[in-house]
Structure 1
């Protein structure tokens, strides 16, 4: 590659890297013209699907979104400066029922096609180079060309700009995880740390043996599927109840004892089509509120500075829908309620009094604390009473989420998406434990209802046992076992020789297993208290510890402070990720156009031989115009 030929290196060619590439192609004619450009894509996994959506995944694993709710293409609801380039949703592309939940291999095939489309949209003056390996480090001065060091390559890639689209990453264990791992190693037990369940070696969990599972979200759902249907079990229709299933075991399943902080699974996906009047959003957490927060002269704390307005926004959506669609369940005129609601302080006694007056049934109240802690104060007399209580909870959640009489739940879902779109402008926010993202996922990113019906059948069959809320896991050195108890059943302990952390690794810079991200942090990039990589919310440039954005380094995705809600964008919802990709692509193209990079005249200092092996392998090069 000539040193004079402009180049951009994109680390990560999965969905986010593909989205950036699509926006690069869309904006290139306006901002860059017919100048030559090299685009290097660095990813050890297939371009398009990336690691998570590989087409060799088990078809038993589903997407957590309906086929009609997944698109890789912009539409006229997306507020971007670049051109809109429409394209089919997953349902339209695959010709499948839009209400279905496709398998992950189906999504991987769609992503592979979308990636090929983005490549094909690039002009012949752009050459794409594929490097199926791992990026180890980025070096180079702020005002000069960057060098991206690759595993298996002695010579680094030279780049005018680097875009990190790393996606979801593994993590190195912190002190909390090293302790149970060490205990398991000393006693010959099984310990599976937070990781992507589909990549875990589940063969170490023997049939018939109890397994403690810490975590009740989507990682648990994958674990449940792979250890039951994945081992030959099957479901049959209940002979007496059309809404129930019966699980027929294969005999190869372990017994999963599951608990968590909340003690309940994520809420089911909503199973009805919204109709009628929907809340006008944003209302109490929109551009003006974000502008005021950005003008604050102190670091922002999410629970103190942001959450009150967010809670009022979610409540507004809930009550707007209740008054519009179910007025018979309200006791005051709608306009009176809305006027007083707007004037009331969020999360205060005036608002509580108004709701109590205007909405007689407490079941119709929006109570975020009760939502976040559904088992708070609930104690069960026995383990069997706990099983019965949790089965009732899951069954009630299924009924509610599939009954349009509870359509305010859909309105809150819409408000959650609206809030996430606004939060991306704020960038770095103090949120210890990443509470907001967890709360959002619990309410908005739950499993399909059919998964929870299977969970109930597994509970009936004794394959899944509920542990409850406020889960505590201890190690017993004398007996060489893990022990679990919960606040829902105090004094009762469950023992097992296996413990699974059923959650994704935290997207932290400091504990990331990714060498590039760790090196970036060591070289001066800023991380938040929650461990996220700090980026400029305007265009995704990586921020240093001095607060300055790096002029040649960008980052997008879940490891950054500009996270987008949900894994994929729903059509006609404004597309937060699309806006981020467009801003980054336009900034990158303008810089590439304007930069005058001197020729490289001397070898660069880089990683040691142990981190950058001397063996070389040639990249795969393709002309953009040759990609179908």
Structure 2
């Protein structure tokens, strides 16, 4: 019997198991039985990030109909497509999907029963869905594949490249023919750039929070009424603010004048700013009003091949972004012309014929869009979107509060109005870019500076800002918090300094020249950035110390970029082992956001050909091919048979 250990039983580990179940009939003969050990200290399926045990205030930033763990007819994978329900479909008919297990929490049950496809669910509702997905994956395994669950933490991975791999847990050691590290989002020791502020806070008895996962952040030291600087305006800001306001007993009330916040008196005063100085754009809560655009059109395999065929080093902004921008523009204008033709002056066919011939930065294209789309609000302007406060100087903090409230109101109104559904067309085209971006990342053709500054910094930040913002109701809540004086806006390009004389943090922004805010608490409102050299995961720390894994380093004559990510093979996600001369380790695989593939989310929007699903499928097939030829070992201990209904119970109790 062959043995596979999957370290990490959250969405990525679950996705790998689902692909093993889908591919096993083809690649693993019945006479080659396989036992799989799932190892995770957190609940299987949901894992740490999506576990039930977190605040009910924390929500997903995707609508229920836009969340799936299953491949579909658009998936370009080598293995079999195994369709399954989205979160919305599962919630609506969960009893029909075996092996169904009703959530224990009555609030979660009530939420799932009433969940509309366009609702933004709580993370606890997603936890219930992921619990079911894992149990379905186990149930779908063929009879010669069995599973054991270990609510434990992997501490060490050893073993020769040509022999058994030993995974030491807290309570026992597992022997395996192959090990897959699907350990998801990881903690790292704080970045050294945060150390001076942390030391300052410790010296003066102040509160400082380095980047942290919101559900795990301890905000209890922040006192009621304390002035707090929160640096960052993305999803971490939304979660942290929710826990510091509603989480402390405040409440929102819908009135004839709009949403009003009633403070509990336990909130701090939150001063928020960031590089852009505005919150992430909210998600739309409607569907396309016209037919879907046929994506991709300008950033497809052929277009990327043409760029990769060019001689010399490549840059993202110079060589790929014009095609990417044109693809986003295609999605935007396709929806505008089809759903709102009254706001255009020419036919779609005539516009497209001209659009296809022109480069994105061509002045002729600018003239074309200006003539065909009279209202500037209907045109796509990336510079305006990316730098909304650029050059703005206001004469008082109150003028900034008024300006930001107007900006946020306009954004919230626009994202809730189907009349602006071209924004959704652009969003879908933006998502489609990830069909080819992994090839660009893995090509090795980008300069080191392009990987560091353009890909890892600008692109992923820009994508998150445009496409990964909060639900629209969060912006309405932000407006109410601002009106109540609980949240105060700082502006763009904020600078935070430590004042030794007063023991306080001081923040300023060029948006309001000469104005400074003083606070006694500082929160870095960003998610932690994984760094292999600072990782707190015991297995990765041990492997790195032993020289068996390597951080991705991209360098050339001009620049060196250390990404902090675990280097793996793009083809099948094998770990590249320095002790093997940098060759792929034949018995070790890694999948997830901590790897050099820069994987997107483990679950995806239906019918978008998710890169994560493609990676899972390729890795599962490679693992099964290897295990089909492995020497059989002794049978394992007790197993959870496919289809068994007690997987969730075993997870809850921690028994193996």
TM more than 0.5:
yes
| Residues 588, 481 of structure 1: alpha-carbon distance in 2 compared, 3 angstrom cutoff | same
Would you say 1:626 and 2:644 are equivalent positions?
Answer: yes
CA distance in 2, matches of 1:161, 1:246: 56
**Residues 316-335 of structure 1 correspond to what in structure 2 (within 5 A)?**
316-335=330-349
Tell me which residue corresponds to 1:166: 183
**Residues 52-67 of structure 1 correspond to what in structure 2 (within 5 A)?**
52-67=49-64
State the shift of 1:625 in Å: 4.9
Gaps of 5+ in 2: 93-114, 554-560, 647-656
**Residues 7-156 of structure 1 correspond to what in structure 2 (within 5 A)?**
7-34=3-30, 35-95=32-92, 96-153=115-172, 156=173
In 2, are the aligned partners of 1:303 and 1:431 still within 8 Å (CA)? no
CA distance in 2, matches of 1:168, 1:293: 32
Query: Which of 480, 486, 498 is the aligned partner of 2:521?
Result: 498
In 2, are the aligned partners of 1:421 and 1:564 still within 8 Å (CA)? no
| Residues 12, 569 of structure 1: alpha-carbon distance in 2 compared, 3 angstrom cutoff | same
* Secondary structure of 2:533's aligned partner: coil
| Residues 296, 164 of structure 1: alpha-carbon distance in 2 compared, 3 angstrom cutoff | farther
| Residues 536, 352 of structure 1: alpha-carbon distance in 2 compared, 3 angstrom cutoff | farther
Query: Which of 480, 483, 486 is the aligned partner of 1:457?
Result: 480
Instruction: State the Cα deviation string for residues 330-358 of structure 1 (Å, max 9, x = none).
Output: 34443343233222223343433433343
Would you say 1:201 and 2:206 are equivalent positions?
Answer: no
* Secondary structure of 1:437's aligned partner: helix
Query: Which of 352, 356, 370 is the aligned partner of 2:384?
Result: 370
* Secondary structure of 2:305's aligned partner: helix
Instruction: State the Cα deviation string for residues 375-398 of structure 1 (Å, max 9, x = none).
Output: 111111100010000000000001
* Secondary structure of 1:182's aligned partner: helix
Query: Which of 552, 555, 558 is the aligned partner of 1:527?
Result: 552
| Residues 142, 471 of structure 1: alpha-carbon distance in 2 compared, 3 angstrom cutoff | same
Tell me which residue corresponds to 2:403: 389
Query: Which of 372, 375, 384 is the aligned partner of 1:358?
Result: 372
Instruction: State the Cα deviation string for residues 493-540 of structure 1 (Å, max 9, x = none).
Output: 111110011111013323322232334444342414332223333322
CA distance in 2, matches of 1:264, 1:547: 43
CA distance in 1, matches of 2:571, 2:307: 15
- Deviation larger for 589-598 or 572-581: 589-598
* Secondary structure of 1:208's aligned partner: coil
**Residues 498-517 of structure 1 correspond to what in structure 2 (within 5 A)?**
498-517=521-540
State the shift of 1:439 in Å: 1.3
Would you say 1:289 and 2:273 are equivalent positions?
Answer: no
| Residues 558, 300 of structure 1: alpha-carbon distance in 2 compared, 3 angstrom cutoff | farther
Tell me which residue corresponds to 1:265: 279
Q: What is the aligned length? A: 601
Tell me which residue corresponds to 1:577: 612
- Deviation larger for 453-462 or 279-288: 279-288
| Residues 548, 346 of structure 1: alpha-carbon distance in 2 compared, 3 angstrom cutoff | farther
**Residues 290-309 of structure 1 correspond to what in structure 2 (within 5 A)?**
290-295=304-309, 300-309=314-323
Tell me which residue corresponds to 1:184: 201
State the shift of 1:547 in Å: 5.5
State the shift of 1:448 in Å: 1.0
CA distance in 1, matches of 2:323, 2:582: 27
Tell me which residue corresponds to 1:401: 415
In 1, are the aligned partners of 2:331 and 2:425 still within 8 Å (CA)? yes
TM-score by length of 2: 0.87
Query: Which of 481, 485, 488 is the aligned partner of 2:504?
Result: 481
State the shift of 1:364 in Å: 2.2
In 1, are the aligned partners of 2:289 and 2:418 still within 8 Å (CA)? no
Instruction: State the Cα deviation string for residues 407-453 of structure 1 (Å, max 9, x = none).
Output: 21111111111001221233446143432122111111111111111
| Residues 496, 69 of structure 1: alpha-carbon distance in 2 compared, 3 angstrom cutoff | same
TM-score by length of 1: 0.90
| Residues 626, 178 of structure 1: alpha-carbon distance in 2 compared, 3 angstrom cutoff | same
Gaps of 5+ in 1: 600-617
Tell me which residue corresponds to 2:557: none
| Residues 350, 509 of structure 1: alpha-carbon distance in 2 compared, 3 angstrom cutoff | farther
CA distance in 1, matches of 2:514, 2:474: 31
CA distance in 2, matches of 1:565, 1:364: 29
State the shift of 1:294 in Å: 4.8
State the shift of 1:293 in Å: 4.7
- Deviation larger for 71-80 or 416-425: 71-80
CA distance in 2, matches of 1:579, 1:126: 22
In 1, are the aligned partners of 2:551 and 2:564 still within 8 Å (CA)? no
State the shift of 1:41 in Å: 1.3
CA distance in 1, matches of 2:282, 2:390: 20
Tell me which residue corresponds to 1:607: none
In 1, are the aligned partners of 2:549 and 2:566 still within 8 Å (CA)? no
* Secondary structure of 2:534's aligned partner: coil
In 2, are the aligned partners of 1:131 and 1:619 still within 8 Å (CA)? no
| Residues 397, 553 of structure 1: alpha-carbon distance in 2 compared, 3 angstrom cutoff | same
CA distance in 1, matches of 2:428, 2:326: 14
- Deviation larger for 88-97 or 137-146: 137-146
CA distance in 2, matches of 1:139, 1:279: 50
* Secondary structure of 1:263's aligned partner: coil
| Residues 544, 285 of structure 1: alpha-carbon distance in 2 compared, 3 angstrom cutoff | farther
Would you say 1:538 and 2:571 are equivalent positions?
Answer: yes
Instruction: State the Cα deviation string for residues 581-601 of structure 1 (Å, max 9, x = none).
Output: 1111111101111234899xx
- Deviation larger for 504-513 or 203-212: 504-513
In 1, are the aligned partners of 2:280 and 2:465 still within 8 Å (CA)? yes
